[in-house]
Structure 1
Amino acid sequence: MKTGRCYTLSDAKTLYTTVTDRVLTLAHNAIQARGRFHLALAGGQTPQRLYECLAERADVDWARWEIWFGDERCVPPDHQDSNYLMARNKLLEHVPIPENQIHPIIKTSAFTPERAATEYADALTALLPSHAGWPLLDTVLLGVGPDGHTASLFPGTPILDIADTPVAAVQVPRLGAWRISLTLPVIRYARHLLFIVEGSGKNEILTRLIHGPRKKESLLPVERISNPHTEWYLDAAARGCA
């Protein structure tokens, strides 16, 4: 947590209200400047309340939003573990974003991880502006796991060293599963990164991130993201004594 800004909110409700307002501000600014807001959603448990808060807002130019995903589990889009299905249930089916502006990583039950990753990389490259040869997302929502992973960038996995494609498939031995994720260069070049961290279970990893490692070779995946436009939003329980 050596770059960007860090905000500690009193409780989870205030955390999600604050992040909702920040996302909507970034959306407004992007639409005013470029006519579109390209947002990559996070999966897992943490962002679900954020998506519910966003769905409650009517004062939004939803027609100009483009929805992407930071990572996906290798399951069909109607599977209970799908990040896309969670986002659809919590947000996308409740707001008038045109269907062709919602871009799931896995679209059908007939897929292979490598093919889905390649097709998603092609979509990002075709539909987004670019910077330094990389697709340029306006905002990427992220969380962090106790092991320092973010999106599906897990410690010790080869995706961490990929520098020739914006999206890759990776097998995560600890999970016994395949994942598909944005790669580090795309996350580093995004216009804004918003990390959302809730709950006392994140005390240990936040202490590590705040005080930092001493050796470059020991960097966790989340510590390898050097984007100056990073914002961390924590509730007091997550921050603890860190």
Structure 2
Amino acid sequence: MIPQQRLPDTAALHEAAAQRILELARAAIAARGAFHIALSGGNTPRGLHARLAREPGVDWQHWHVWFGDERCVPPDHADSNYHMARETLLDRVTIPVGQIHPMIPAAGLAPAEAARLYAAQLADEAPRRDNRPELDLILLGLGGDGHTASLFPGTAILDEHEHDAAEVFVPKLDAWRVSLTRPSIERARHVLFLVDGNGKADILQRLERGPAEAEMPLPVERLRPQGKLEWYISQPQ
């Protein structure tokens, strides 16, 4: 779990992560003319989004926004990651609408169809390496069970290698989701975990020590990013 930054509180976490994201955005735009980022869901990114939206002078016109995973709910639903991102970031900045890519763009879309369409969007509009999508940055969170994006323990998506996005049924939530797959996450130029340490002591300790011989690797432990991997973690209060 290195390199990592341990921050004293959530505000410092958001500030440090925002500065790193803005640095990567400037570098990507200077080098390749665009910045392709996948946002994460949950509560932790809310403050990060608000901090990014306040930054002056950002070249939003060259940002392209993707999502790491999504609940299978309409895009205006309170549980939608896209809806949260719109409220906290996307409606506050000037990223062109055509450069924002929700995973569930319309109500009533079946999970398998949503995953197929998202994989097709990635193939058509994301940067590519070895004929597969290569995003500049993927933001990820960490669940107490070791899941990240919608890669949950014991789910079939963990062994999906053919597609860049896939549907997944999560039994513990009794719900369908759509997620980037391990290969699409692993090919990103940068992967940045954003972790609020409150309530995460056990899982962070597990990641520090690694799985014991009799333990199955957690989803997050199965990721093998090919690019730069960084962790930003706030200290528990």
TM bucket (normalised to shorter chain) is over 0.9
| Secondary structure in structure 1 of the residue aligned to 2:107 | coil
User: Equivalents in 2 of 1:138, 1:162: separation in Å?
Assistant: 22
User: Equivalents in 1 of 2:168, 2:140: separation in Å?
Assistant: 18
- 102-111 vs 139-148, greater mean Cα deviation: 102-111
Aligned residue number for residue 127 of structure 1: 125
| Secondary structure in structure 1 of the residue aligned to 2:232 | strand
Aligned residue number for residue 58 of structure 1: 56
Matches within 5 A, 1:24-39: 24-39=22-37
Match of 1:77 among 70, 75, 78: 75
**AA matched with 2:66:** W
User: Equivalents in 1 of 2:110, 2:120: separation in Å?
Assistant: 15
| TM-score, normalization by structure 1 | 0.95
Matched, 1:8 2:6: yes
Structure 1 vs Structure 2: percent identity of aligned residues? 52
| TM-score, normalization by structure 2 | 0.97
User: Equivalents in 2 of 1:216, 1:96: separation in Å?
Assistant: 50
| Secondary structure in structure 2 of the residue aligned to 1:200 | coil
Q: Is the 8 A contact 1:134 1:185 kept in 2?
A: no
Match of 1:209 among 188, 207, 218: 207
Match of 2:173 among 167, 172, 175: 175
User: Equivalents in 2 of 1:137, 1:84: separation in Å?
Assistant: 18
User: Equivalents in 2 of 1:219, 1:25: separation in Å?
Assistant: 33
Q: Which runs of 4+ in 1 moved over 6 A?
A: none
Aligned residue number for residue 221 of structure 2: 223
Aligned residue number for residue 66 of structure 2: 68
| Secondary structure in structure 2 of the residue aligned to 1:193 | strand
CA RMSD of aligned residues (A): 1.3
* 114 and 35 in structure 1: CA distance in 2 versus 1, 3 angstrom threshold: same
Gap runs ≥5 in structure 2: none
User: Equivalents in 1 of 2:216, 2:132: separation in Å?
Assistant: 26
| Secondary structure in structure 2 of the residue aligned to 1:180 | strand
Matched, 1:233 2:232: yes
Gap runs ≥5 in structure 1: none
Match of 2:145 among 136, 144, 147: 147
Matches within 5 A, 1:82-121: 82-121=80-119
Shift of 1:216: 8.8
User: Equivalents in 2 of 1:116, 1:76: separation in Å?
Assistant: 12
Match of 1:17 among 11, 15, 18: 15
Shift of 1:200: 2.3
| Secondary structure in structure 2 of the residue aligned to 1:140 | strand
